[in-house]
Amino acid sequence: MHEQWQSCVWQRGQHNAFTDLCEFNGMLVCSFREATNHISADGVIRLLYLDMQGKLIRHQQVKLPGADLRDPKLSVTPDGKLLLLAYAKVYNGHQDPVYRQAYTWLTQDGQSWSSPKQLGDKNWWLWRLRWHKDKAYGVAYNREAQNTRLYAGLPRRTFECVEPQLFSLKKQGKGYPNESDLHFSADGTAQVLLRRDADSCTAQLGISAPPYRRWVWHDLGFYLAGPRMLNLSQGYSLLAGRIWQQDGPKTALVLLNLQTMKPSLLRVLPSGGDTSYPGLVRQGNNVFVSYYSSHQHHKACIYLAKFTLDDELLS
């Protein structure tokens, strides 16, 4: 793969981090958290609307009074609306969070958003939503339980836990599974990419056929934070996230051979320090990558890059 361009698209906030990226109405939409710092309690969601050359068209902010909003994720619903998912630490004036809850917002035009609606169970961090056959799926995690759950349904209506122990310390013997991505093949086969932060700290890839109750898990043998997955063909998947190198954390693109489950490093993005949480959008042979990094400007900023994929990865 080769890079077409890369640029810093946002640096106005004190701390700009935790991106996602999707295509909507002919634009790229990049979501991220703006706050005082990585762990402060004042997070709001910033949305950038960009053209396909990465030029900023407009931007807007989504807030929830009394709450710290974190890790916004974007998806387009089957009826063409843009859905925003974020996890709220609700303080309501207290020093510590009263509770934690996932929320969704919906827009038809990318201008005005609906009121927030709670999604999933309190204190279970629903990380991302993916759509398959008019239904949304998402993996939630709970740190204390060292467990992940699979949820499914319609986010603005009924959304239920369909697998209460997707991957857990109790079930698999491997600790602290948390952040995730999902992919559905045309035949309905599901893949879950899972970050872990205990014992060997190696990422896991789970595969299951409908109804997604029996999973086969593969240990990928390396650490990946803020995991993102984009299947390129039947044989390869593009992974993105934070890896560790000798000179510290980097945001990187990794090619995963789906037959051997062997990863190979494709590209280390210009990054360092506080960095990760990429978003991916594919357009034909091109892939857009959003991420944040603190390697420049003395703070965490938002970056966008465009790459062209080699034909052999897509066949």
Reported as a single tens digit per residue, the pLDDT across 254-313 is 999 999 999 999 999 999 999 999 999 999 999 999 999 999 999 999 999 999 999 888
**Cα(12)–Cα(216) distance, rounded to whole angstroms?**
44
**pLDDT at position 12:** 97
Return the residue matching tokens 């360092």. Answer: 272
Say if residues 189 and 205 touch (Cβ distance below 8 Å). Answer: no
Q: What confidence tens digit (pLDDT) does each residue in 54-110 have?
A: 999 999 999 999 999 999 999 999 999 999 999 999 998 898 999 999 999 999 999
Q: Is residue 214 over pLDDT 90?
A: yes
Pairing of the two strands 204-208 and 216-219: antiparallel
Tell me: pLDDT of 315 over 80. no
pLDDT beyond 80 at 139: yes
Comparing CA positions, the residue from 110, 45, 113 lying closest to residue 73 is 45
Domain architecture of the chain: domains with CATH = 2-313 (2.120.10.10)
Q: What SS3 class is residue 158?
A: coil
% of the chain residues with pLDDT over 90: 97
DSSP designation for 285:
T
Secondary structure class of 172 (helix, strand, coil): helix
The pLDDT value recorded for residue 233 is 87
Rounded Cα–Cα distance for residues 83 and 85 (Å):
7
pLDDT confidence of 314, banded at 50, 70, 90? confident
Calpha distance 236→242 (Å, rounded): 19
- Percentage of the chain exceeding pLDDT 70: 100
Distance (Å, rounded) from C-alpha 7 to C-alpha 54? 8
Q: What is the mean pLDDT of residues 196-211?
A: 98
Number of neighbours of residue 217 by Cβ within 10 angstroms: 18
pLDDT at residue 134 greater than cutoff 80:
yes
- Supply the mean pLDDT for the chain: 97
C-alpha count within 13 angstroms, C-beta hemisphere, residue 48: 30
How confident is the model at residue 82, as a pLDDT? Answer: 99
Residues 6 or more apart whose CB falls under 8 angstroms from that of 140 comprise 102, 120, 121, 124, 125, 126, 127, 148, 149, 151
**What does the pLDDT look like over 218-234, one tens digit per residue?**
999 999 999 999 999 88
Q: Is the pLDDT of residue 23 over 80?
A: yes
The answer to whether the beta carbons of residues 269 and 303 sit under 8 Å apart is yes
- Grade residue 211 by pLDDT with cuts at 50, 70 and 90: very high
Could you tell me where the beta strands, DSSP code E, fall in 36-98?
44-50, 56-62, 67-76, 82-90
Cβ proximity of 20 and 74 under 8 Å: yes
CB-based contacts of 135, cutoff 8 Å, min separation 6: 152, 153, 154
Judge if pTM exceeds 0.75.
Answer: yes
